[in-house]
Structure 1
Amino acid sequence: MSTDTTSGVRPDGESGWPGAADPGYVQLPADGFTTALVMDVPDGHSAEFEQAWEQAAGQVADLDGNIHQVLLRPTHLPHTYVVISKWRDEQTFHEFERSRSQDELTATLRRLREGIVMSTPIMVRRIEGRKP
Structure 2
Amino acid sequence: MGTPFRVMLRMQITPGLEEQFERTWQEVGDSVTSHPANLGQWLSRSLDEPGVYYIVSDWADEQRFREFEASERHVEHRRKLHPFRETGSMTTMQVVAHLPRSATAATHAEWERVA
If each structure's strand is expressed as a fraction of its own residues, which one has the higher value? 2
**Bigger CA radius of gyration:** 1
Aligned to 1:118: 90
Contact 1:56 1:106 in 2 (8 A): no
Whether 1:56 aligns to 2:23 is no
| C-alpha separation in 1, matches of 2:2 and 2:38 | 16
Whether 1:92 aligns to 2:60 is no
Q: Which runs of 5+ in 1 are unaligned?
A: 1-28
Q: How many residues align?
A: 104
* Structure 1 residues 131 and 110, CA gap change in structure 2 (3 angstroms): same
Contact 2:31 2:73 in 1 (8 A): no
If each structure's helix is expressed as a fraction of its own residues, which one has the higher value? 2
Aligned to 1:78: 50
More RCO (CA 8 Å, sep 6+): 2
TM-score (norm 1): 0.69
CA deviations 1:74-99 (Å, max 9, x no partner) are 11213000000111111111111111
* Structure 1 residues 106 and 128, CA gap change in structure 2 (3 angstroms): same
| C-alpha separation in 2, matches of 1:130 and 1:32 | 21
* Structure 1 residues 130 and 62, CA gap change in structure 2 (3 angstroms): closer
CA deviations 1:1-57 (Å, max 9, x no partner) are xxxxxxxxxxxxxxxxxxxxxxxxxxxx84221100001001100011111111121
* Structure 1 residues 95 and 46, CA gap change in structure 2 (3 angstroms): same
* Structure 1 residues 114 and 122, CA gap change in structure 2 (3 angstroms): same
TM-score (norm 2): 0.79
Q: Which runs of 5+ in 2 are unaligned?
A: 105-115
- Quote the offset at 1:128 in angstroms: 5.2
